Amino acid sequence: MKTKLVLILILLLASFLRLYQIDQIPPALSWDEASIGYDAYSILKTGKDQWGEVFPLAFKSFGEYKYPLHIYAAAVSVYFFGLNEFAVRFPSALLGIINIFVFFLVVWKLFKNKFIALTSAFLLTISPWHIQFSRVIWETNFALFFFLLGLYAFLESRYGHRKYFLIISFILFGIATFTYNGAKVFIVLFAPLLLFSQKDYLLKQKKHLFISLIIFILFIIVNLLDPRLSGINRFKQLEFEQAEVVKTISYKTSKVYSLGKVELIARQYLLYFSPKFLFISGDANLRHSTQAVGEVYWVELLLVPLGVLFLIKKESRSVILVLGWLLVAPIPGSFTREAPHASRAMFFLGVWQILAAAGMYYLYAAFKDKKRYFVVFPFILIFTFFIKYFMYYLDEYPKTSSKDWKYGYKQAVEYLKKNYNYYDLIVLTRTYGEPQIFTLFYLKFDPRKYQNDPSIIREKKGDWVQVSKFDKFYFPDLGETETQYEDIVKQNPGKRILFIGKPGDFPVDRPKLGTIYFLNGETAFKVVDNK
């Protein structure tokens, strides 16, 4: 009863941390989130995505294809809540909460230890890393969900004596590969590790194991056969540039290009264990981290080695599984640029919390007579750092990150919506991102009208596809030339034109109709017209 009560309290805390002001913090939708939301809306209204594809299994995006599960989940949410920020982000927040419960079950199955299971769940609940990605709709939380659920099903087959759960486990692992590119690499490497750690059990389950592996291999084959799902295009966008490779010591010494790549991969792998990433400031991208704290609390640095020691002394198969998990987690993010990258290392989540919780239990078991010093004090310290982090997240983070989150496009679209009928042409700069998707999202533009709009102009720039025109909207890189404002006016004689652009995009003598500010007070957009 006490365990259930503590778990309920943890889940209530998790719900608050992932749902409170989710429509306002982070301070704006990213263009990916807006695209996911509009695709969900389009599917609901027409059965087609924004590109006109009927119930696609891979959704075309700006420069890649996106996996379907989180978009169809968003469609369900949009059905109940309407097309808004809350509806778009709610599925990820909900899975973030469910993940904590599934994670508790996984740890309980592994250790049969209530203290470690509850502490692990609590640490994941207050993890800055997990909170950050639970409050936005990206694929990562969906990948983590199917991985944890698959791991739980495997452990249930092992320790719950339900043989058929082994097959369910590998079906869930297979589904995980359809949620996120990084999941393909991680799951393919983690599965053999899992099988090796439980080989004694699996040798007795040859029939179920054979079926499980066949099903899993089929999932992988489907992934590889469909270029939209394989992730190859995305990998090509993010692979190392030649200039980086030729600067490596390995290449300079051997003149072998592949050795230079191996060196870069090894360097990037080690970056995921760097103190700066883990304990000081986290991911360098403000959309992935507040940068006020690391991805995990530095107190956990003191507990993790004790957790490793606990596992080694325990001499169980869980040692191979947990430590292998720790070593495999950074691999997906090591093969591409921008390391360390919190999203691509999402599978670190769980294993750090297990090791920290095991370390805390090691202190508890070793110093029972003084447990309030060796256990209660770390709890208080971690919770203190959490409170400091979360207060910063609610108050300062929206201000420091609003530009990175493309804040201002919503306000710009609200302005042009009020004045839509007054203008013949509306020009909105693409300086900060993909303005067409914010226009579609916040106008709730009729998907049928958009799909069949003969005025749409799409431009391909490398692997990136952008919409430069639809309806009466035009989305140029305003300020690209000194005379661009005048050029647009001359090209559209007699038309009344509304311009929304950044400071410096218009002649200084043009009277402003309005100004939109980032949350830190800097000017985001100025609004002018040609009359």
Sign (positive or negative) of CA dihedral 527, 528, 529, 530: negative
Q: How far apart are alpha carbons 277 and 355 in whole angstroms? A: 18
Q: How far apart are alpha carbons 269 and 281 in whole angstroms? A: 18
- Please state the separation of Cα 337 from the chain's center in Å: 16
Class of residue 258 by CB neighbours under 10 A (exposed 0-12, middle 13-18, buried 19+): exposed
- CB neighbours of 356 closer than 8 A, spacing ≥ 6? 119, 120, 123, 296, 300, 303, 304, 307
Q: How far apart are alpha carbons 131 and 426 in whole angstroms? A: 38
Q: How far apart are alpha carbons 90 and 458 in whole angstroms? A: 31
- CB neighbours of 299 closer than 8 A, spacing ≥ 6? 378, 381, 382, 385
Question: Minimal CA–CA distance to 9: which of 108, 100, 105?
Answer: 100
Structure tokens at 446: 């009729």
pTM recorded for the entire structure: 0.92
Q: How far apart are alpha carbons 398 and 407 in whole angstroms? A: 9
Structure tokens at 307: 């957790």
Sign (positive or negative) of CA dihedral 468, 473, 479, 485: positive
Residue pair 334/277 in contact (Cβ under 8 Å)? The answer is no
In this structure, what are the phi and psi dihedrals at residue 136, rounded to the nearest 5 degrees? -135, 155
Q: How far apart are alpha carbons 9 and 121 in whole angstroms? A: 11
**Radius of gyration of the chain from Cα atoms?**
25
Which residues are registered as beta bridge partners of 509?
Answer: none
Could you tell me how many residues make up the chain?
A: 531
- CB neighbours of 165 closer than 8 A, spacing ≥ 6? 153, 154, 156, 157
- Tell me the pairing of strands 464-470 and 523-529: unpaired
pLDDT at 217: 92
> Would you tell me how many other CB atoms lie within 10 Å of the CB of residue 433?
18
Q: How far apart are alpha carbons 408 and 301 in whole angstroms? A: 39
Residue pair 111/318 in contact (Cβ under 8 Å)? The answer is yes
- Domain boundaries defined on the chain: 409-529
Q: How far apart are alpha carbons 139 and 183 in whole angstroms? A: 10
Q: How far apart are alpha carbons 452 and 460 in whole angstroms? A: 19
CA distances from 343 to 150, 346, 458, 506 (A): 20, 5, 29, 38
pLDDT at 370: 65
Q: How far apart are alpha carbons 337 and 256 in whole angstroms? A: 20
pLDDT at 280: 92
pLDDT at 530: 84
pLDDT tens, position by position, for the chain (531 residues)?
688 999 999 999 999 999 999 999 999 999 999 999 999 999 999 999 999 999 998 888 887 788 899 999 999 999 999 999 999 999 999 999 999 999 999 999 999 899 999 999 999 999 999 999 999 998 889 999 999 999 999 999 988 778 889 999 999 999 999 888 888 889 999 999 998 888 888 888 888 889 989 999 998 888 888 777 766 665 555 567 777 877 888 878 888 778 888 888 889 999 999 999 999 999 999 999 999 999 999 888 889 999 998 888 876 678 889 999 999 999 988 888 788 989 999 999 999 999 999 998 988 877 766 666 667 788 888 999 999 999 999 999 999 999 999 999 999 999 999 999 999 999 999 888 899 999 999 999 999 999 999 989 888 776 778 888 999 999 988 877 777 888 898 999 889 999 999 888 888 777 888 999 999 999 999 999 887
Where is 46: in which H helix or E strand? helix 31-46
pLDDT at 135: 96
